[in-house]
Structure 1
Amino acid sequence: MKKRPDQEFKDYAVKLVVEEGRKMTDVGHELNISSSSLGRWKKDYLERVNPSEEKETHYTPSEVAAMKKKHEKEMAAMKTENEILKKAMHYFTKDHE
């Protein structure tokens, strides 16, 4: 029966890769761990150590186009609003004697 590695051992193996810059395959061979297991441990470790970092999001070209269109529409509305406010400011700051 194989004994499952504890969290301390997993962290040690991952630190060899992350902090010392060693290759996962080399560390895997030395510690008799598969590279895929070490990769999963590394992912889990990085999520625990850096939970505040946002995950990278990937968008399809159609999603990017839709977001661009939405932002352009919002920008046009803001420009119109800004022009109205400028005109109102000029109207109310004039002397009305």
Structure 2
Amino acid sequence: MTKKMKSYSSEFKEYVAKMIVLDGHKMTDICNKLNLPYGTVKRWVGSYRDKQKNAEKEEQNQLLTASEYKEMYEKERQEKLEAQEEAEILKKAMHIFTQEIE
């Protein structure tokens, strides 16, 4: 008797791995629910975690230069100031509208 090997798409493998790693589902529950072999799912999860670690290392390896850091800092600072201004305007408008109602 020969067993027929099922092949799954990479999207499906990643979806299953994310359900376990990111959503916190138990591997045995997913295996039972989707009728998948435990060893196969364990391999998919291991592969997914390795990809995550490699992506993290790549992110850490990309250091910012001083000018890039300064640019990013100034941009975030400007966005924060704009958000504060908008909040102040909304507060004033809300105060004006609530006074008219009374």
TM-score (norm 1): 0.49
Question: Greater CA radius of gyration, 1 or 2?
Answer: 1
Task: Give the number of the structure whose residues are more often helix, by fraction.
Answer: 2
